[in-house]
Amino acid sequence: MATSREMTEGRALPLIFNFTLPLLLGNLLQQTYSLVDAAIVGKFLGINALASVGASTSVIFLILGFCNGCCGGFGIPVAQKFGARDYITMRRYVAVSLQLAAVMSVVLAVVTSICCADILRMMRTPDNIFTGAYYYLLVTFIGVPCTFFYNLLSSIIRALGDSKTPFWFLLFSTVLNILLDLFCILVLDWGVAGAAIATVFSQGVSAVLCYIYMMKRFEILRTTPAERKFDSALARTLMYIGVPMGLQFSITAIGSIMLQSANNALGTACVAAFTAAMRIKMFFMCPFESLGMAMATYSGQNYGAGKPGRIWQGVKASALMMIVYWAFTFAVLMVGAKTFTLLFVEASEVEILKDAELFLHISVSFFPILGLLCILRYTIQGVGYTNLAMLSGVSEMIARILISLLAVPAFGYIAVCFGDPTAWIFADLFLIPAFAYVYRRILRMNKN
């Protein structure tokens, strides 16, 4: 029988570490989707096909980031009610979140699918890769409901303190995705679209299996007919928390789209280098995101249990783990950046290898700033102040837009490399005082 787990008692560091490990493995598997897609496309279909996949990366992050943010937000009231041991209201939140997800995901899929071509034109996608980018983007958008439901179900299970169950379904999905990638591209000859089809189908299967397992094995989630009725008050609470989290990702992605658009104008070689480097960077960023997700559940449960002092303990423990990981990653990428890039392109592509290596060296140097961003942002979200977290996304967007409009035209690709680090600095300048404000506020609330 699957079990839930409270994180309102015991030492913060081992609790967060043990909860983070399955999350980390899951995030690494999700990034394996991207790595496998890009590696197979780049090796078997060529540089133009790789650039086609990369040209739509930021747009995909815009839409899927909104979905994932909403899902994470929907899980916060569940975690808070679980921490407060109000299981009836918790189950009602779960039921309403599934109903909202059904409507939102279908609407997003329809609207974004219609707008695919216009979006790519606005991003100044080169003509020689436009068709491949269009089909990759279209298939991904059609599959939005699959992504939405998988992430929502995972968020609900994590809210109960179980980060292992979502990992096993993601492992299954990853293996299926790799097999389907090879089948669709090498056997069926579906090209770039085949990579997208493989990813969407594998996520859909994983979402269905996850739902069946969750309802059968988690007794605490089994609802009565009365608990499954739509409740507008609970829906407003979920939207109030979830939508700002989704918008935070989308707002951040708007800046990324601007940056990618500026990079697209530099030519196919820069697009290919950016694509390969981003895949590698996202892979090594996983632990920061995982720590942040763990802190969202940890802070949500302790906030619901009326134990705000434990939240600061969690932040310090997470920061220590983050610094240790960064030291390891810095050494690996400074030495092996070019070797990792060879997974995507041939050794003869000297310019692409050099540009990707430069991007990774600059990015990894600023990883501690990114790690602090993830810890503080998710902690703020976990206690329900999602509007503040969204404003940190605005800070990131402003930084990327300034780099795109002013620095890239003047300095070229080197400015693209500094786009993300500059955005992380802008976000932290907002998040540090925001966290101090939130923490003081919840301490006062608890005393009253």
- 336-355 pLDDT tens trace: 998 888 877 778 888 889 98
Residue 5 counted as domain residue = no
The answer to whether residues 430 and 372 touch, using CB atoms and an 8 Å cutoff, is no
Residue 58 counted as domain residue = yes
What is the spatial distance between Cα 360 and Cα 339, in angstroms, rounded to a whole number?
12
What is the spatial distance between Cα 214 and Cα 218, in angstroms, rounded to a whole number?
6
Range of weakest confidence among 4-8, 229-233, 439-443: 4-8
What is the spatial distance between Cα 384 and Cα 96, in angstroms, rounded to a whole number?
18
Range of the domain at 191: 12-447
The answer to whether residues 432 and 376 touch, using CB atoms and an 8 Å cutoff, is yes
Query: What pLDDT is attached to residue 171?
Result: 81
Query: What pLDDT is attached to residue 210?
Result: 83
Assigned token pair, 161: 């303190």
Query: What pLDDT is attached to residue 437?
Result: 93
Residue 70 counted as domain residue = yes
What is the spatial distance between Cα 422 and Cα 427, in angstroms, rounded to a whole number?
9
* Gap between the terminal Cα atoms of the chain: 39
Assigned token pair, 68: 């994932």
Query: What pLDDT is attached to residue 169?
Result: 83
Residue 7 counted as domain residue = no
Of the two residues 27 and 410, the one the predictor is more confident about is 410
Helices (H), 123-266: 127-142, 144-159, 164-182, 191-217, 232-264
How much is the average pLDDT of 162-172?
80
Residue 22 counted as domain residue = yes
Residue 4 counted as domain residue = no
Cα dihedral across residues 396, 433, 245, 198: positive or negative: positive
Residue 6 counted as domain residue = no
What is the spatial distance between Cα 243 and Cα 246, in angstroms, rounded to a whole number?
5
Residue 1 counted as domain residue = no
- Supply the mean pLDDT for the chain: 84
- Return the amino acid letter for 410: A
- Give how many domains the chain has, as a whole number: 1
Q: How many residues does the chain have?
A: 448
pTM of the model: 0.72
